[in-house]
Amino acid sequence: MARPRTPTLKLEGRGGFDKHPERKRARANEPVVKRPLGEPPEGLNVLHVADWRDLADWGSEWLTIADRFQVEIACRAMEAYRATGDKGQGMLAQAALAKCGFNPVDRTRVMAEGGKSDGSRDKAEAYFGA
């Protein structure tokens, strides 16, 4: 299995483009999402909406509209796990939350406003539209 692609902000933050400028050129047209996560979608029950609002609050510095589907999956899986104890739903919830930066390891991969003072904050502001 191929190694996952390193996020652009991570490469930029650790100087990966200094050694390999072709990587930066290859990512020149990468989309930049500036719109916030927003309100929960229609069709979520009261418990899902409560989870949505919690996640939106906790991840307010990095979640964007591009994360909506992943956050919805996390909300639905969390409630299914809570209701049934189904370990599969628990694993799905954990995976969805990790993709959104909600576990200790994945949170270290998120670059958001208020981050390191080495200039990465400016890059995060540009990326997340803060």
Query: Mind spelling out the 3-state secondary structure of 64-112?
Result: EHHHHHHHHHHHHHHHHHHHHCCHHHHHHHHHHHHHCCCCHHHHCCCCC
Among 88, 96, 93, 102, which residue's Cα sits nearest to residue 68?
96
At 79-120, the pLDDT tens digits run: 999 999 999 999 999 999 988 888 776 766 665 544 444 444
pLDDT for the residue numbered 68? 94
What pTM was estimated for this model as a whole? Answer: 0.67
Per-residue pLDDT tens for 44-60? 999 999 999 999 999 88
3-class state of residue 115 by DSSP: coil
Report how far residue 106's alpha carbon sits from residue 62's, in angstroms, rounded to the nearest whole number: 12
